[in-house]
Structure 1
Amino acid sequence: MRRAPLVIGAVALVVTGVAGGALLFGSGEKGRPAPGRTALSASDVRRGDLIDTITVDGTLTYAAERRIAAQTTGTVTSLPSPGRVVGQGGALYAVDRRPVVLMHGTVPLYRALGPGVTSGPDVRQLENALQDLGYGDGLTVDRTFSAATAHAVRRWQKDHGLKQTGSVDAAQVVFLPSDVRVVEAKAAVGDRIGPGRQVLSVTGTHHVVHVDLDADEQQTAQKGRTVSVRLPGGATATGRITSVGTVAHKKNTQGDTPSSGQSPAATIDVEITLSGGKRSGTLDQAPVTVTMESRRRRDVLSVPVEALLALREGGFGVEVLDPGGARRIVAVTTGMYGGGRVEISGTGLTPGMKVGVPAQ
């Protein structure tokens, strides 16, 4: 599957803004008003967490792609169209007009299930599926294929036009963990097929976002961390990182062939599950942008980057706007930058103080 390239992270942009802001607003002496700075707006000194982020390209797709292969010989007489969702009890395809039905379960149907089989988890999942589909009258869900199980199977077979044998095999049922969405038919109606021939490619029904993350940014992709996803059309959804690859893949940064002396970039696979019931449409392989937290400083004072002043004697300061109109410059030590703000510390600075920023 083709992956979207990474985009430039936010950190470099923030640092550039700091340098530009400091030089633009001139300097003043510590503890004295700065002359000539009249066009100011006020902004708060805030206490809280300061977060830096990176933005990367991702792809909106569907999870858990898998192939469905035939387990019988015959002629394909029915196939679902791409994009169709097949639920439990629905036909994935038909061979010789006999449907191959989806049932929910995690154990592949590796043997025929009928009277006389040994007990096992595959029997339990068949009985669970039969009960969910409305064939559970008199049926006890356990690991034993009983006479009641065979009776339920025959009722199910009758409703689907199958020979009422009371036994189920892989020519009749495919067990998958959940409903599926058809991606592509790998056979055509009229094709002659046999066991092992791929018939369909399917996925899960829920959108996920895939990111090829630069291996240098691996520390930003922590499983369980919340991210923001900008969807096609401009809507924003919340997502959670559910999978982080442990093997790096080489990927060229420019075209198919790296330039002389340039090594292909290394990326890791990151998968994000959308949350909050946000509508993400039905698009597959659609480009999205993902904003991830890269660093966090907890419980610090911060001001807008534009509030920084370059001092003549070196370092930075901020212009404090005292109540009553007085203005004074306070020298500060800067820390982390993020989200258009900068961490500061300095004598007498408290949350809620007003500092000057260039007026819009």
Structure 2
Amino acid sequence: MRSRIRVAAAATAVLVLGTVAAAYVWQPWRKDAALPGPKVNTQTVMREALTSNTILNAQLSYGDPDTLIGGGGGILTVLPPLGKVVKVGQRVYETDGRPVVLLKGARPFWRELRTGVSPGEDVRQLERNLVKLGSSAGLTVDDTFTRSTALAIKRWQDSLRVKRTGVFAPGDAVVTKADAIRVETIHVKLGASANGDILDYTDTAVLAFANLSTAQAGSLMPGKPVTVALPDGSTTGAQITQIQKHRGSDKDGKLLPDRAVIEFADQSPVSRIGLSAVRVTIPSDTVDGALVVPVTALLALADGGYGVEVLRDGKRVLVPVKVGLVADSRLQITGDIKEGEEVVAP
């Protein structure tokens, strides 16, 4: 990866310095390298760590919505407001005056769970939620519905202020894989049936999404730390947590680009600015102890390659150099040049 970055960096230097190179190309037929004229601007050759960054444009968002499907029947008597955050154990909506609660799991409930029901993964999923909600004193999480399971359901029903039956019905809860959801869109109206698509929900945290080129998607890895520049001029740290590839097509049949999902450890900087566009800086490559000069010091040589003018004994001496990493209008050079020397930098 590093070699590709440096080739690209050298190409960038050529583009940036094209006008400089066109204005002055070394003339090997001159006997004296010293050029008359007014005093020139110089910069000191520094030895330092040089980091090349990748800059991405990103959009703050709560992520792609998922649809919550009701299946318990009944009439919708309460719906949540848009933007409401619902946690596991809390009411999402209400049917026939009875709360329908959010539970966490990998599958929807499809049967009534009561004493005598055959063992199954749905029993384990319910018991796992009862433990999480603190209604499970003495309950062992397994596939078997026991007397302890029925007692835990009754404690949970007490907390919801509904009739204590010790029986769990599929319409008592809806299931997602998240610990909490944010209501994005409502698909139904009060008085409608509670079957079918009820609402769309998203993650509760603000994320940043950045479209990637194929090369970027292949080189970036989850866990990479980044810096996000916000519209108010501030910056905040974040981390790439996922690279989404093969995302399918949009409604016009155009392939969706790969993208990076970026999460913020601290939500406060992004929650106060709205869902705006941001700029993401990714440290791509670092060279420690590099000899660094401004890009304006670089000259194109008539016979190919690059050089810089160094002030030595009162004369401007052209020294051929090789270009390494380029970052923030500075570049790494190697050649017959030392730290502390002065180079001409228009």
TM-score, normalisation: structure 2: 0.80
5+ residue gaps in structure 1? 1-8, 257-263
SS in structure 1 opposite 2:242? Answer: strand
- The equivalent residue for 2:172 is 172
- The equivalent residue for 1:280 is 270
- The equivalent residue for 2:159 is 159
1:189 offset after TM fit, Å?
Answer: 1.9
Instruction: Single out whichever of 231-240 and 200-209 deviates more from structure 2.
Output: 231-240
Distance 2:84 2:39 in 1: 64
Deviations 1:286-313 (A, max 9, x none): 32233345x6364554422122134466
Deviations 1:199-246 (A, max 9, x none): 111111122222333446544543333333333433323333333333
Alpha-carbon contact 1:33-1:327 (below 8 Å) kept: yes
- The equivalent residue for 2:318 is 329
Aligned positions of 1:224-303 closer than 5 A: 224-247=223-246, 268-278=257-267, 279-281=269-271, 285-292=275-282, 296=285, 298-299=287-288, 300-303=290-293
Which residue type is aligned with residue 355 of structure 1? Answer: V
Seen in structure 2, the aligned counterparts of structure 1 residues 159 and 246 have a Cα distance that, compared at 3 Å, is: closer
- The equivalent residue for 2:345 is 357
Alpha-carbon contact 1:63-1:205 (below 8 Å) kept: no
TM-score, normalisation: structure 1: 0.77
Seen in structure 2, the aligned counterparts of structure 1 residues 28 and 229 have a Cα distance that, compared at 3 Å, is: farther
Alpha-carbon contact 1:180-1:205 (below 8 Å) kept: yes
Q: Does 1:342 align with 2:331?
A: yes
Distance 1:251 1:292 in 2: 28
- The equivalent residue for 1:261 is none
Distance 2:314 2:121 in 1: 78
Q: Does 1:210 align with 2:198?
A: no
Q: Does 1:111 align with 2:111?
A: yes
Seen in structure 2, the aligned counterparts of structure 1 residues 10 and 102 have a Cα distance that, compared at 3 Å, is: farther
Alpha-carbon contact 2:10-2:325 (below 8 Å) kept: no
Distance 2:256 2:175 in 1: 34
1:77 offset after TM fit, Å?
Answer: 1.2
Deviations 1:26-54 (A, max 9, x none): 7587995554362424244335454252x
- The equivalent residue for 1:3 is none
Alpha-carbon contact 1:111-1:169 (below 8 Å) kept: yes
Alpha-carbon contact 1:244-1:268 (below 8 Å) kept: no
Aligned positions of 1:21-170 closer than 5 A: 21-23=20-22, 32-36=33-37, 38-53=39-54, 55-63=55-63, 65-170=65-170
SS in structure 2 opposite 1:171? Answer: helix
1:178 offset after TM fit, Å?
Answer: 1.4
Alpha-carbon contact 1:243-1:272 (below 8 Å) kept: yes
Which residue type is aligned with residue 320 of structure 2? Answer: A
Which residue type is aligned with residue 286 of structure 1? Answer: S
Alpha-carbon contact 2:297-2:343 (below 8 Å) kept: yes
1:70 offset after TM fit, Å?
Answer: 1.2
Alpha-carbon contact 1:28-1:329 (below 8 Å) kept: no
Distance 2:183 2:78 in 1: 14
Alpha-carbon contact 1:332-1:344 (below 8 Å) kept: yes
1:160 offset after TM fit, Å?
Answer: 1.5
5+ residue gaps in structure 2? 1-7
Distance 1:186 1:83 in 2: 14
1:91 offset after TM fit, Å?
Answer: 0.7
Distance 1:311 1:265 in 2: 46
Instruction: Single out whichever of 82-91 and 12-21 deviates more from structure 2.
Output: 12-21
Distance 1:329 1:149 in 2: 85
SS in structure 2 opposite 1:153? Answer: helix
SS in structure 1 opposite 2:240? Answer: strand
1:125 offset after TM fit, Å?
Answer: 3.5
Seen in structure 2, the aligned counterparts of structure 1 residues 111 and 328 have a Cα distance that, compared at 3 Å, is: farther
Distance 1:131 1:216 in 2: 46
Aligned positions of 1:307-326 closer than 5 A: 307-311=297-301, 315-320=305-310
SS in structure 2 opposite 1:20? Answer: helix
Alpha-carbon contact 1:135-1:155 (below 8 Å) kept: yes
Seen in structure 2, the aligned counterparts of structure 1 residues 100 and 352 have a Cα distance that, compared at 3 Å, is: farther
Distance 1:203 1:57 in 2: 22
Distance 1:340 1:301 in 2: 14
1:179 offset after TM fit, Å?
Answer: 0.6
Alpha-carbon contact 1:221-1:292 (below 8 Å) kept: no
Over the residues paired in the alignment, what is the CA RMSD in angstroms? Answer: 3.6
1:68 offset after TM fit, Å?
Answer: 0.8
Distance 1:79 1:156 in 2: 22
1:71 offset after TM fit, Å?
Answer: 1.2
Distance 2:10 2:76 in 1: 56
